Amino acid sequence: MNQAEISPEIKRVLPVILATAIFMQMLDSTILNTSLPAIALDLNESPLNMQNAIISYVLTVALLMPISGFVADKFGTKRTFILSLFLFALGSLFCSVSQNLTQLVLSRVLQGIGGSLMTPVGRLTLIKTYPKNELVKAMNYAIVPALIGPVLGPLVGGYLVDYLSWHWIFLINLPIALLGILLSFRFLPDFHSSSLNFDLKGFLIFATASLLLSISLEALGNSVQLSPILATLSLGLVLLFVYYKHAKKRENPIFPLNLFQVRTFRVGILGNLATRIGISSVPLLLPLMIQIAYQESAVISGWIVAPMALTAMFGKSVVIQILNRFGYRATLMTNTLIIGFLICCLGMPGINHSIYWLLPIIGILGFFNSIQFTSMNSISIADLRDYHTSSGNSLVSVNQQLAIGFGVAFGLIVLKLFEGDSSLIHGEIHLAFRYTFWVIGGLTMLSALVFRRLHFRDGENLKVQS
């Protein structure tokens, strides 16, 4: 199938199909955190052991996501995407009927197999369906759930656990997955690649590196034993270098090194990694501060964070006009500075001020986050050749997964460092949160320098009339 054969009706529905997958995945990844104590109580497990239910999913995604592009090329984007939705839904069903932690972990692994394919293959289909000047608008609609999911997750999870049971946090995925599957059968285009040469050795090296990096990042924010974690992190980085040496020698590696010769791809990858340090830690740190420092309930914290989702949708409606007028370089540099400043502002209200002073900051932050995600994701693939689309898209997905993990781990580490410094915070826990927001906000502002590497004309092929 090629772009000329795709009807306008398919183009209208395709972003909705990808949105269902992204929303389900993002909601699932955040909703579980709220429910772990209730699940632990029901399964007669220690809440500390329940972290395995999260880690098993994260590691499965990290291990299998690098081959998402190859699988889609070989078996077709339509068949692969539908299979990913089915596996994710089946894993969700098994999670809901799990009788012990082992069953829950195995079910999360099945979910992870589906999750490793869902978003990369859905986005790959989007990239191959639309011409470059229509891609930003399509991606813009599909990306909103990535902003809404982390905000609604804790809120929905709190209500489901309080008023129904923890089983519903998994069962809620089933109707969403069913909708995605039905729409996919009817509207999803099917793309294949005629040139397939699987780099098994490269996959094993890169997948192991991703796995080790994910393990270390997951453990970094939840452990005080740094030596084994740093050893694991170092081994993961060494394996990335081993992959680099391997890819230089192989004719068709799983991730070609000449991807990084494309300036927009290189800057998009580095920018995603740098800016998500702050952006990814906010959905975790903000509810923690509201509940721990301000002593509010989980439901209250969920409602206070919720405006971020509403303003994100408003940001979606104006991002194309902003990019068309100012270009990607100016937009990303300015927008990153604004996001960093707003993260710093989250630490400005003192403990004696009303918590509702956070609402306007949170709302404005959601607006600019929406612009940031759309801009970074689209510039990353702006200049990729057709033969690089699958591998480049998979690498963008792996990079985002690791960047989110690094952001969460970094935020928790900084918080723990300030929390342990009694001479600085004098037992006032809210000060630890304030200083943490200032640190990650300042680093986010510094990350704007990454986008200076863009040329002012970069992304012009993506411009579209609004």
Answer yes or no: is pLDDT of 163 > 70: yes
Among candidate residues 198, 215, 230, the one where a domain is terminated: 198
Pairwise CA distance, residues 141 & 316, whole Å: 7
Percent of the chain topping pLDDT 90: 15
Answer yes or no: is pLDDT of 3 > 60: no
Same domain, 247 and 378: no
Is residue 118 within 8 Å of 81, Cβ to Cβ?
A: yes
Same domain, 283 and 427: yes
Answer yes or no: is pLDDT of 445 > 80: yes
Mean pLDDT is lowest, of 211-225, 305-319, 363-377, 409-423, for: 211-225
pLDDT bin (cut points 50, 70, 90) of residue 5 is low
Q: Read off φ and ψ for residue 71, nearest 5 degrees.
A: -60, -45
Is residue 213 within 8 Å of 65, Cβ to Cβ?
A: no
Mean pLDDT is lowest, of 154-163, 178-187, 391-400, for: 154-163
Pairwise CA distance, residues 178 & 41, whole Å: 30
Q: Provide mean pLDDT across the span 390-409.
A: 81
Q: Of 187-196, 197-206, 362-371, 409-418, which has the strongest mean pLDDT?
A: 362-371
Same domain, 209 and 293: no
What's the pLDDT tens digit per position in 288-303? 788 777 777 767 777 7
**Secondary structure of the chain as H, E, C letters:** CCHHHCCHHHHHHHHHHHHHHHHHHHHHHHHHHHHHHHHHHHCCCCHHHHHHHHHHHHHHHHHHHHHHHHHHHHHCHHHHHHHHHHHHHHHHHHHHCCCCHHHHHHHHHHHHHHHHHHHHHHHHHHHHHCCHHHHHHHHHHHHHHHHHHHHHHHHHHHHHHHHCCCCHHHHCHHHHHHHHHHHHHHHCCCCCCCCCCCCHHHHHHHHHHHHHHHHHHHHHCCCCCHHHHHHHHHHHHHHHHHHHHHHHHCCCCCCCHHHHHCHHHHHHHHHHHHHHHHHCCHHHHHHHHHHHHCCCCHHHHHHHHCHHHHHHHHHHHHHHHHHHHHHHHHHHHHHHHHHHHHHHHCCCCCCCCCHHHHHHHHHHHHHHHHHHHHHHHHHHCCCCCHHHHHHHHHHHHHHHHHHHHHHHHHHHHHHHHHHCCHHHHCCCHHHHHHHHHHHHHHHHHHHHHHHHHCCCCCCHHHCCCC
Among candidate residues 232, 253, 274, the one where a domain is terminated: 253
Same domain, 387 and 466: yes
Answer yes or no: is pLDDT of 138 > 50: yes
Same domain, 247 and 292: no
Answer yes or no: is pLDDT of 111 > 90: yes
Torsion on CA atoms 319, 324, 326, 332, rounded to nearest 10: 50
pLDDT at residue number 181? 93
pLDDT at residue number 227? 79
pLDDT at residue number 306? 75
Same domain, 288 and 434: yes
Same domain, 147 and 216: no
Percent of the chain topping pLDDT 70: 90
What's the pLDDT tens digit per position in 256-279? 888 888 888 889 899 988 898 888
Same domain, 217 and 186: no
Rounded to the nearest integer, the mean pLDDT of the chain is: 82
State how many domains the chain has.
3
Quote the domain boundaries for residue 247: 199-253
Is pLDDT larger for residue 157 or for residue 445?
A: 445
Same domain, 10 and 159: yes
Mean pLDDT is lowest, of 77-86, 93-102, 130-139, 145-154, for: 145-154
Residues whose CB is less than 8 angstroms from the CB of residue 92 and which lie 6 or more positions away in sequence, other chains included = 28, 107, 111, 170, 171, 173, 174, 177
Instruction: Return the structure tokens found at 177.
Output: 């997955």
Same domain, 103 and 235: no
Looking up residue 429, the CATH number of its domain turns out to be 1.20.1250.20
pLDDT at residue number 339? 94
What's the pLDDT tens digit per position in 349-378? 666 777 778 888 988 998 898 889 888 888
Same domain, 141 and 222: no
Answer yes or no: is pLDDT of 219 > 80: no
pLDDT bin (cut points 50, 70, 90) of residue 466 is very low
Same domain, 227 and 277: no
What's the pLDDT tens digit per position in 301-345? 777 777 777 787 777 778 888 888 888 899 999 999 999 999 999
pLDDT at residue number 85? 94
pLDDT at residue number 439? 92
pLDDT bin (cut points 50, 70, 90) of residue 99 is confident
Is residue 443 within 8 Å of 340, Cβ to Cβ?
A: yes
Pairwise CA distance, residues 138 & 15, whole Å: 6
Answer yes or no: is pLDDT of 2 > 60: no
Q: Could you tell me the CA-to-CA distances from 132 to 22, 35, 136, 387 in Å, in that order?
A: 21, 41, 8, 15
Among candidate residues 132, 166, 198, the one where a domain is terminated: 198
